[in-house]
Amino acid sequence: MPEKKIFLTAHWNYLLLFNYAVPEHFLTPFLPKGCELALWNNQAFISIVGFQFNHTRVFKIKWPFFTHFIEINLRFYVLYKEKRAVCFIREYVPSYLIAGIARILYNEPYKTEKITSFFEQDNETLKLQYGLSVKNHPFTMSVTANNKPYMPEKNTAEFFFKEHDLGVGQTRKGKTLLYNVHHPEWRVFPIEKHSIEIDWVFFFGSAFAFLENKDPHSVFLAEGSPVEVYHHAVV
C-alpha cells in the first residue's frame, strides 16, 4: 500500500454521516479497477458526509484562505486487496482553489458551491448543521446529539462507516489511484434527533432519483481528530 510523503495535514472535526442502503449493481459503474464493494450486513451503502477542515496545511505550508473550511461529500465503501477504503462520487467545497488542486492532483470529483453551517454546544447537547446554498435546491443535514462521546466497538456500524485509512479513486486514464489517510480512531456522539432535506437529482444526478424522500439507514456524528493525507500512488 502506498505511503510516500505527507501531502496534507489538518484537523477533521464533527464528521456528520447520513448512510443509505443501495443496490450493489447501482455502485458497480463507480468502482475503480481492482476494487470490490465493502458490505455491511450484506448491503452496499453510500454516505453523505459533512465535516470541518481546520488548521489545514498543504506541503507543510499554511496557505491563506485555505486553512478552515467545510466539505460535503457523497462516498461509498470498497475493498482493495481486502483493505477497507472509501471512494468518492461527489465532493463539494467552498473554494475554486481547493477544488482545482484536488482535481489536478487526485482527479477527485470536486465542485465548488457556497456551504452553510451552524454549530452550538454546551455541556449536555451539541447541535450541528451543514448545507449547500443553491437557490431553490435544498440541501441541509442536521443533528442534535448528546455531548458525551464514546468509542464504538470494532464490530459496529459506527466503526464500519467512520474508520478507513485508504482512499481510492481513478486517474483520467482509468487507472486506480490509492492514497493513505492516517488518524486515531474517532469517538462518536449519541444522536438524539436528525433531519435531512436534499434535492438528490440536482446535486448528484438523475441516477439518484430513487433516494428522494428515502430515510437514512443510520446517522452518526464522529468527533474527529488531526489527520495526515499522503501522496497518491497509481497502480
- Average pLDDT by stretches of 10, the chain with 235 residues: 80 98 97 96 98 91 83 97 95 85 78 93 96 89 98 96 94 91 97 97 95 96 96 86
Q: Are 44 and 64 in contact (CB under 8 A)?
A: no
Whether 164 is covered by a domain: the verdict is yes
pLDDT at residue 2, rounded to an integer: 63
- State how far the Cα of 127 lies from the Cα of 74, in Å rounded to an integer: 22
Whether 21 is covered by a domain: the verdict is yes
pLDDT at residue 216, rounded to an integer: 97
Whether 146 is covered by a domain: the verdict is yes
Range of the domain at 97: 6-234
Whether 126 is covered by a domain: the verdict is yes
Domain total of the chain: 1
What CATH number did the domain enclosing 215 receive?
Answer: 2.40.400.10
Whether 114 is covered by a domain: the verdict is yes
Whether 1 is covered by a domain: the verdict is no
pLDDT at residue 133, rounded to an integer: 82
Whether 213 is covered by a domain: the verdict is yes
Q: Which cell numbers in the block locate residue 176?
A: 486506480
pLDDT at residue 95, rounded to an integer: 83
pLDDT at residue 83, rounded to an integer: 94
